[in-house]
Structure 1
Amino acid sequence: MPAAAPAPPGPYGFLGPEGSFAHAAALALTGEPDALVGCASVAEAVDAVRAGTVTGAVVPLENSVEGSVPATLDELAELAPLAGGPPLVIAAECYLPVVFDLLVRPGTRPEAIGTVATHPHAAAQVRRYLLTRLPAATLIPVGSTAAGARAVAEGSYDAAVAPAAAGRRYGLDSLATDIADRPGAVTRFVLLCPAVPPAPPTGADRTTLVVYPRDDHAGALLEILSEFASRGVNLTRIESRPTKDQLGRYSFSIDCEGHVADSRVGDALAALHRICAEVRYLGSYPRSDGRAGPVPDGRTDAAFAEAAGWLARIRGTGTG
């Protein structure tokens, strides 16, 4: 795994409270167990960064089963954040396996469970289990899995779907373990910070951006994709999100292989800047999985430099 850039000094917000998957991700990304501040929602964590009350925030971005987390995508895509403050970038990422337990207060029996609290993303991953094992229970959405566990410990609900760490933290028993409908799920968490120059490329990097097409015309998405394809830049994620200013208008949230310092990636971003209404650069950072895709012939930094020299000779002397 490539080494991430050193995290700035804390404190750091995370989607909490303690015992959540985001808490575990925050520990992994920052190494600062005593400088972590639990936040009730992604929006609250992001607002804390923009307000300067925390240095950065660790929030979920996507899950291997349920896909991206809309709250995080929308906070990053806002051209004019409702809460004000500076634009944010992704400074680092980590992948975290997510295993869900059914947590209850000691002595609770399955037939006594009338309410189950959890985060909506977790609920979607255990949907079939709950329908089969607890068909009469009411599902209660809460801000995080750990918040559900804490609420059970406080007596607000009968059970929670949460990590085993949350059960240990709040004195709950695991009535059932590893209850996901599809075992082996992984969630990608990111560390958000105010915009700073990116760390140098490692050779196994990812760049994230949000692209706003200039207008609604045939082939707008194809134009965007062509700028990446023609430069040999592989996309690892692309999805549309409503711009929220007009029905039918969408932006595109994109992850691509490579670093903004790579010639092919920088050239693609510059081309998008020319043809799109807005391009929000959201950071270049080491990939948590350490993967580095192949760079096609003619798209390396050396090839770009050679081509630029060739063009300069033509412009200066008339011959290449």
Structure 2
Amino acid sequence: MPLTPLDTDSYSFLGPAGTFTEAALAQVPDAAGKRWRAVNNVGEALADVVSGRSVAAMIAIENSVDGGVSATQDALASVPNLRIVGEYLVPVNFVLVARPGTTLAEVNTVNAHPVAYAQCRAWLEKAVPGHGYIPASSNVAAAAALLENSQADAAIAPPGIDTHHPVVVLATNIGDNPNAVTRFVLVSRTVTLPEPTGADKTTLIIELPDDRSGALLEMLEQFATRGVNLSLIQSRPIGDALGRYRFVIDADGHILDERMADALLGLRRFSPNVTFLGSYPRADKQAIEFTSRFDDEIFIEARDWLRGLIDGEPAA
């Protein structure tokens, strides 16, 4: 089936306005001045990209406190022909908001997204002991619900929420970890690879061929023996049987780096299903470090040596 022409004026993000996802999208130069389409979940965001309603979608993939975002990882594993074209980091902090006229002493029940609630739990137990908790679909939705006959007295929300909704801020910096950061990725249908920068990341989803002793080690050896460091490795059930897992992996380097390309060849021979989700510049721009024996020239020389043996060239 031919692909629908992309709407190059539209970008999708987890809404409504004021979310951390919107803050990540604001870091994309190409999205400036374009239409931003607020969606309800990761599935809807990726569906926009697949259908051509949007040129790309911004989605959260990892949090420094809670690890990988399983809903995103599972969606990327199940939706074909998608590529990650960039990553963006957003510091995560929260405020406690309420309806005008409410004081902190009057708060008994708090509305919040489960992830946000977990990251503010210690503060809440000290400031609002014995409080009740109502889950919300997003932090912005939690704040908005306060104005719609919500049973909650207050909500956990992103800073600046009071510019979008008529709520009052009861407390700031309520997150338990001041260093919390969420990593977002911009997902598109493009297959054009960005040029290597020396500070790149490659994201893969790999299925183990079978459930047996040593299978995971064999997969990891494809990277280790080529000097490729892994910055993320997380298992997710495939869902077709017990003991069957796929692994979401972030590897340091670019597919056009010889060591990474050689690792991918090894993975392809090892696994029945390897999904390449893209090579793209790291958000932190930190150059990848590796020992000199994994330089591109080493791999190229080894291939030339083997070709010479096959062609019967005299030894140097």
- Correspondence list, 1:8-27, <5 A: 9-27=8-26
Could you tell me which residue of structure 1 aligns to residue 44 of structure 2? 44
Aligned-residue offset at 1:88: 1.4
1:28 Cα deviation after fit: 0.8
| Kept after mapping to 2: 8 A contact 1:257/1:292 | no
Q: Tell me which residue corresponds to 1:234.
A: 229
Pairs aligned (count): 307
Alignment partner, residue 3 of structure 2: none
Matching of residue 141 in structure 1 with residue 132 in structure 2: no
User: Is the 1:117–1:160 Cα contact (8 Å) retained in structure 2?
Assistant: yes
Distance 2:102 2:279 in 1: 48
Instruction: Extract unaligned runs of 5+ from structure 1.
Output: 1-7
Percent of residue pairs bearing the same amino acid type: 44
**Pairwise mapping of residues 78-89 of structure 1 onto structure 2 (< 5 A)?**
78=78, 81=79, 86-89=80-83
Measured in 1, the distance between the counterparts of 2:164 and 2:260 equals 44
* Cα distance between partner residues in 2 of 1:34 and 1:316: 56
Which residue matches 2:67?
67
* Secondary structure in 1 matching 2:27: helix
Partner residue of 1:208 out of 203, 207, 213: 203
Q: Distance in 1 between matches of 2:132 and 2:33?
A: 35
The Cα offsets for residues 63-119 of structure 1, whole Å up to 9 and x where unpaired, read as 1111111111111112xx4xxxx4311110011111100011221122433432222
Coordinate RMSD, CA, aligned: 1.6
Question: Does structure 2 retain, via aligned residues, the 8 Å contact 1:41–1:144?
Answer: no
Deviations 1:220-241 (A, max 9, x none): 1100111101100011110101
- Quote the offset at 1:304 in angstroms: 1.3
Deviation per CA, 1:199-251, whole angstroms, max 9, x where unpaired?
11111100000000111111011001111011000111101011111122111
Residue 47 of structure 1 deviates from its aligned partner by: 2.0
1:33 is displaced (CA, Å) by 5.2
The separation in 1 between residues aligned to 2:177 and 2:138, in whole angstroms, is 20
In the TM superposition, 1:179-190 aligns within 5 A as 179-190=174-185
Matched, 1:101 2:100: no
What residue number does 1:121 align with?
Answer: 115
Equivalence map 1:150-161=2 (5 Å)? 150-156=144-150, 157-161=152-156
Corresponding residue for residue 262 of structure 1: 257
| 2:131 aligned partner, one-letter code | A
What is the aligned partner in structure 2 of residue 3 from structure 1?
Answer: none
1:10 and 1:69 map into 2 onto residues whose CA distance is 27
Instruction: Name segments (4+ residues, structure 1) moved above 4 Å.
Output: none
* Distance in structure 2 (CA, Å) of the matches to 1:116 and 1:88: 37
- 1:277 counterpart SS class: coil
Quote the offset at 1:178 in angstroms: 0.4
Alpha-carbon distance in structure 2 between the residues aligned to 1:89 and 1:135: 45
Distance verdict in 2 for CA 1:43–1:117, change over 3 Å: farther
Distance (Å, rounded) in 1 between the aligned partners of 2:176 and 2:314: 65
- In 2, Cα distance between the equivalents of 1:265 and 1:243? 25
Superposed CA offset, 1:147-182 (max 9, x none): 212222334243211111222211221100000111
272-281 or 120-129, which deviates more: 120-129
Partner of 2:303: 308
CA distance in 1, matches of 2:59, 2:108: 30
Partner of 1:175: 170
More displaced stretch, 261-270 vs 37-46: 37-46
Aligned match of 2:215: 220
Amino acid at match of 1:57: A
TM-score by length of 1: 0.91
For 1:199 and 1:48, locate their aligned partners in 2 and report how far apart those are by CA, in whole Å.
23
Of 292-301 and 242-251, the range deviating more from structure 2: 292-301
User: Secondary structure of 1:226's partner?
Assistant: helix
TM-score normalised by structure 2 residue count = 0.92
